[in-house]
Every structure is written in C-alpha cells, then in structure tokens.
Amino acid sequence: MSCTEGRSNLVENDQERTVTMRVDRPTEDDWQRVRSIRLRALADAPDAFARTFAEEAAFAEADWRKRLSSGSTTFIAVEDDADVGMVTGAGRRDNPGTAGLYGMWVAPGNRRNGVALGLVRAVVDWARSNGFSEVALHVADQNSAAIQLYEQMGFAPTGGISTLPPPREHITEHERSLSLGETICDATIA
Ligand SMILES: CC(C)(COP(=O)(O)OP(=O)(O)OC[C@H]1O[C@@H](n2cnc3c(N)ncnc32)[C@H](O)[C@@H]1OP(=O)(O)O)[C@@H](O)C(=O)NCCC(=O)NCCS
C-alpha cells in the first residue's frame, strides 16, 4: 500500500493517558463476538443507535456475516482480554469520499479511560489509509458525553440534522465531520 498523507484536523491530545488496550479488527468468522458486544451496546444505550436491541437480536448468522464482509470495518477495543468497546467505519453511499463512523460504544465500567479516543483514531487511520477525505458521524443532540468526545477530537458540526427512525423520532441528531486533509492513497477498502 502506498499512501501519502496530508494534514489532518484530528486533535491528538491524550498523550498523558496510560491506557493499555489493543484494537482488533474482527472478520466475518468472528461474528459471534461482534454480535455479543453489539447487543451489549444496544441494551446499554438504546437512544444512541438507530437500530434496536430487538431488531438485531433477531439477526441470523448470515446477517452478521454480511455486515462484517460488506465493505465496512469493525474495530473492537480489548482490555485485559475483555471486549470493552466497538466502532465501525464504512464508506458513505451518499458521499463516496466520506467515511461514516457508526456504532461507537464503550462498556460503562471502562469509560473515561481513553477507549473511545483510541477507537475514533482507529477509524480515522482506516479512513485515511483507504483514501477517504473526511470522516462523518451523527450524534444525538442530548448525548453530551459523545458530543464532548467528538468535539475534543476535532469533529465539527456540518449543519446536517436528522432524527432516529420511528418510534424514536423525538431523538434529534446532528452531523459532525473531520477533514482528513489531502490524502492520496491507492488502497481499496479493506
Ligand atoms: C460516549 C462514549 C463512547 C465515550 O467513551 P469513553 O471511552 O468513556 O470516552 P473517552 O474516555 O475516550 O473520553 C474522551 C473524551 O470524551 C469526552 N467524554 C467522554 N465521556 C464523557 C462524559 N461522560 N462527560 C463529558 N465528556 C465526556 C471527554 O472530552 C473525554 O476526554 P477527557 O476524559 O480528557 O475529559 C461512551 O460514554 C459511550 O459508549 N456512551 C454510550 C454510547 C454512545 O453514546 N455512543 C456514541 C454514539 S454517537
């Protein structure tokens, strides 16, 4: 892979943290592991995600395998051999140069320890090395923790607004994006 990176707006300000975590990239054969942590996320923070626990608990093995093999890349944060967080990056159909950041979640007992910072960085690195020019996400207007996280990392509001699907259309979201600067890269999406 050859990739020449330009300047990024990503804010790197967690150098004093002492988190010892690794970030795994599960394959479709790891679908049960992904299912487990994703259902934990949906049960814990239902208003942070468009899909519901009931919808995804009903997914078949084929659904999980498809999700993990369809151009998106999921990252799982591991601390002390336990899966403690996840996030997914995927190219946006509505904007080919933009990577979407989806499904960010950190287990309650592992929060405020830099895990989300590491997961965002994993998506940004993946997006940059796959030639995307920006990373974008949607966050609920009431989700002050997540807004603070993205703000701290340099994700700025784009002006885009949306709501969760019915019956949770009362939960409003806004879009934020991070410019990756000029990135010239010949890699295809992993
Ligand atoms: C939002 C979430 C992912 C943050 O994960 P985390 O691992 O605790 O975040 P980090 O420890 O990496 O925190 C990084 C920064 O985010 C901000 N932040 C995180 N949690 C915060 C909180 N509860 N209140 C205010 N700011 C917070 C802070 O700026 C923090 O930096 P600091 O610790 O130096 O102040 C986590 O709370 C979570 O999973 N929430 C439920 C699901 C969710 O809301 N997902 C986001 C969907 S868009």
Q: Is the CB of 119 under 6 A from ligand 1?
A: no
Q: Could you read off the pLDDT of 35-49 as tens digits, one per residue?
A: 999 999 999 999 999
pTM: 0.90
* Secondary structure in 3-state letters for the chain: CCEEECCCCCCCCCCCCCCCCEEECCCHHHHHHHHHHHHHHHHHCHHHCCCCHHHHHCCCHHHHHHHHCCCCEEEEEEECCEEEEEEEEEEECCEEEEEEEEEEEECHHHCCCCHHHHHHHHHHHHHHHCCCCEEEEEEECCCHHHHHHHHHCCCEEEEEEEECCCCCCCCEEEEEEEECCCEEECCCCC
Binned at pLDDT 50, 70 and 90, residue 182 comes out as very low
Residue with CA nearest ligand 1 atom 10: 114
Q: Could you read off the pLDDT of 105-121 as tens digits, one per residue?
A: 999 999 999 999 999 99
Q: How far is the CA of 58 from the centre of ligand 1 (A)?
A: 29
Binned at pLDDT 50, 70 and 90, residue 96 comes out as confident
Q: How far is the CA of 92 from the centre of ligand 1 (A)?
A: 24
Choose which residue among 123, 148, 168 to substitute to test ligand 1 binding: the one with the highest number of ligand atoms within 8 A of its C-beta: 148
CATH architecture of 21-183: 3-Layer(aba) Sandwich (3.40)
Q: Could you read off the pLDDT of 127-156 as tens digits, one per residue?
A: 999 999 999 999 999 999 999 999 999 999
What is the chain's mean pLDDT, rounded?
Answer: 89
| Domain range annotation of the chain | 21-183
Query: Which of 8-22, 30-44, 67-81 tops mean pLDDT?
Result: 30-44
